[in-house]
């Protein structure tokens, strides 16, 4: 059982959540009382899954775990953390390539609010190469992702790309019709 009652915010895009994220949550729960996954609502990124879809996926992936909370946020992460009473920002570090950006962000967040501590955790080695982006690419090219994501994500990916293919097919048919 975790000794601390602390609430840790785990911010990210989670587009979609992977077993790497799940691994970090599990490790976080071993140290902190509660872990809250907070989806950053970012109008600049072009996500595959909408914020509502990502929340639904997370709800299913973490169903029955009362110490895992789910939310969305926009604006400054430290403002959000303060608002929900979190004393920790939890982030995952996969490789050295993550480090530069994460380090910079952690120091900036510390400058913005020195009371909130950023804690980095490392996933199991088997997840160090897993990213949401790669999962989407591999799945789209027909590769197997069942070891990399929870079952709900695989199902949602199948539905999403089937929908996309159908829409693309429909619009091709429409444009052919227009040409005639
Ligand atoms: P962001 O856009 O904030 O990077 P992500 O959803 O890609 O959002 O990642 C959220 C957090 O999870 C980041 O700290 C990232 O380093 C971490 N993370 C992503 N994939 C993994 C993984 N396979 N193992 C451990 N941590 C990961």
The domain spans of the chain are 7-128
**Residue 163: per-residue pLDDT:** 74
Residues 38 and 80 sit within 8 Å (Cβ to Cβ): yes
Whether residue 3 is predicted with pLDDT greater than 70 in this model: the reply is no
Our mutation pick for probing the ligand 1 site, out of 17, 21, 55, 125, counting the most ligand atoms within 8 A of Cβ, is 21
CATH number of 7-128: 3.40.50.620
CA of 141 to the centre of ligand 1 (A): 22
Q: Is 59 assigned a catalytic role?
A: no
Cα-based distances in Å from 175 to 18, 161, 164, 180: 37, 21, 16, 9
**Residue 167: per-residue pLDDT:** 61
9-20 mean pLDDT: 97
Residues 135 and 145 sit within 8 Å (Cβ to Cβ): yes
**Residue 2: per-residue pLDDT:** 55
Segment 78-90, tens digit of pLDDT: 999 999 999 999 9
pTM above 0.75, yes or no: yes
Instruction: Determine which residue's CA is closest to atom 1 belonging to ligand 1.
Output: 12
Segment 112-152, tens digit of pLDDT: 999 999 999 999 999 999 999 999 999 999 999 999 999 99
């Amino acid at each position: 059982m975790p000794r601390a009652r602390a609430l840790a915010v785990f911010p990210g895009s989670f587009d979609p959540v992977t077993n790497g994220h799940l691994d970090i949550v599990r490790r976080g729960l071993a140290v902190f009382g509660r872990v809250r996954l907070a989806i950053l609502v970012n109008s600049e990124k072009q996500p595959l899954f909408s914020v509502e879809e990502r929340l639904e996926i997370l709800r299913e992936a973490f169903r029955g775990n009362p110490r895992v909370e789910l939310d969305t946020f926009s604006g400054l992460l430290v403002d959000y953390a303060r608002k929900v009473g979190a004393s920790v920002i939890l982030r995952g570090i996969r490789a050295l390539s993550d480090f530069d950006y994460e380090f910079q962000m952690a120091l900036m967040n510390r400058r913005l609010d020195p009371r909130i501590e950023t804690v980095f955790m490392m996933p199991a080695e088997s997840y160090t190469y897993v990213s949401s982006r790669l999962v989407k690419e591999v799945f789209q090219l027909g590769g197997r992702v069942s070891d990399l994501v929870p079952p709900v994500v695989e199902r949602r990916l199948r539905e999403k790309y089937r929908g996309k293919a159908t829409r693309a097919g429909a619009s091709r048919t429409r444009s052919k019709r227009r040409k005639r």
